[in-house]
Chain A
């Protein structure tokens, strides 16, 4: 059974169509990235998945269940706009959040101790939220999202405002949950982290689907390949090679974009003729490149029509 099935959901606010005919499914143990520029409809989509707002049309099923109030306990949600009750103590607040997920008190007490210990923040338990730094608050909120072992975890920009060490702590926990079968929907506009973590990608712009599929397949189907060459000698071969569409010489290395259906091996042979090759790497286009190209294409396509 699919963890999440979204079918043709649509939401408009007055005349503005925020989400238009969006469908996707998320498998068990899948990290699913929803990416898109600011204002593309990511948060509205997630809010509909969360049943915080009702879609104008379409359905959302979680573990096959469209009766949404029953599935709320199976979800953990870290919204992009996040905050906590400033006057509450960390322990009380986490207990409250687990109460809302219908976790029995006995279990939630145990879970709080275990998780605070794991993140090495046991001493925060009796501190008020307002005494913590922004990043610390975010860690507490993240705990409040995962402690009830959700089947579907929705994280909207989870790494914003965190230092690299804490980003790694959270990534580690995400991957651990994934191993245990949790599906993770992960919304971001930081392409590097999406590229590292996601199995599948859904690119949304202006409320509509632009790209959707497995990350590897999207990369394969999208754009041409790039080659990265580090060498000693003349760059004459770059100018003459039939394989190269254009190249950028960065001094230490050259990045070349190949023509369609090019043979990179042929290029390597040409390069080796007069130069000492230190590095020759075939790169598939980065998610960043795909993102920019897809969004630009769709924007210009739309404005022309």
Chain B
């Protein structure tokens, strides 16, 4: 009686969907995502606004004024970003004064100091000391300004007009307007937007696969450790039980995916108004959000890869659950699985940069990584499909069927084995049991 499986599906779905954890999680999950991604922008905007004071010990006597003129940036509150104070020091006093400055830096009276040597044009080295030298932007800004000053002076020494040359450079600047070639013509698209979209979606896929895989594992462990399995198996076969659990929990995940998807769509539609309403006004972020284009193909593939990826890993998580006796053991045993899944996430970056290489193709054909990486390639190449996109649908089906078959053989034996945890070798032997 095949339809008894519905009793299992219903129980798995309803008992979990009714929990506070699921309801809160579903509502908070998109917010958390938004928070993480928007947070990066907001945070960087929030952290900047203190102005920094530097002493400039200019031993050339000519650099200071130009240097200050080149770095006139102001902060949002109107203060100067950098405040430079000119210190003229005789060379023989230098060491003594520097020791004094160092104390001031350390006591946070100033942020740092620059020592511009008299032979700057030849040595082309400036000593930069500060409380913190990890601010890339700042370092490169200083470097750029100083390089420009030195270049100007050297050009003038050669009898050339620096400002004229600069003008020629500016007039010769060329802009690349990027478009993606598709079957139906060209589409304008920015690299940033598709990267971020891919990351968000891949992240959702990853989290859902892991979270729901673990829910399934815990569900199997509960039945085993609470000795419920045997009662249920008197009514249905282990295959029906496993199938019902996988389908029930997969439906639960799809429900969550659906709700999260709706919320993301709403965010794209109304996000700009919302963010501005909250007082967040970051041009970059809004720009990117405006450029995000959800295409139906991406959602279709995402749904497919979630389902197939979930079922693929579900089989493995179920096998782990059947082998172990308690949740603690389960946590240990699932580590290899989690690591395998995580490696896939780290590869998303490489694969999205070069989605059309043959290595990207082969990696994304490995069943462990197909759902995540093939999806990433599809998302980043959208609206063009990368090589192997359709092929992967079928290979993944095949591998999933194989995994489920193997896992269900282990599951069937494991759920009735109490006591000692079997070795991997024993678990493999279970596959051959009648």
Contact = CB atoms under 8 A, between A and B. Distances in A.
B7 interface: yes
Interface in B199-243: 222, 226-228, 230-237
A61 B109 CA distance: 92
B226 A79 contact: no
A79 B230 contact: yes
B1 interface: yes
B3 to A, nearest CB: 8
A73 interface: yes
Nearest to A53: B416
Contact of B234 (A52, A70, A102): A52
Given A73-B1, A99-B6, 19 more contacts: A47-B230, A52-B416, A54-B434, A56-B434, A72-B234, A76-B234, A77-B230, A79-B234, A82-B227, A83-B226, A83-B228, A83-B231, A84-B226, A84-B228, A85-B15, A86-B222, A100-B236, A102-B1, A141-B231
Interface of A: 47, 50, 52-54, 56, 69-70, 72-73, 75-79, 81-88, 96-97, 99-102, 141, 144, 154
A77 B15 contact: no
Contact of B231 (A56, A73, A77): A77
Q: In which size bucket is the chain B interface?
A: 20 to 34
B418 interface: yes
A78 to B, nearest CB: 8
Contacts of B236: 72, 100
B1 A81 contact: no
21 contacts: A50-B233, A52-B234, A52-B416, A53-B416, A54-B434, A69-B1, A69-B237, A72-B236, A73-B1, A75-B234, A76-B234, A79-B227, A79-B231, A82-B230, A83-B226, A83-B228, A96-B7, A100-B4, A102-B1, A141-B231, A144-B231
Nearest to B415: A52
Q: In this complex, which of B7, B236, B418 has the most chain A Cβ atoms within 10 angstroms of its Cβ?
A: B7
A79 B224 CA distance: 13
A52 B233 contact: yes
Interface string B1-16: 1001011101100010
B226 A100 contact: no
A281 B25 CA distance: 73
A75 B11 CA distance: 22
Given A85-B222, A87-B15, A99 B7 contact: yes
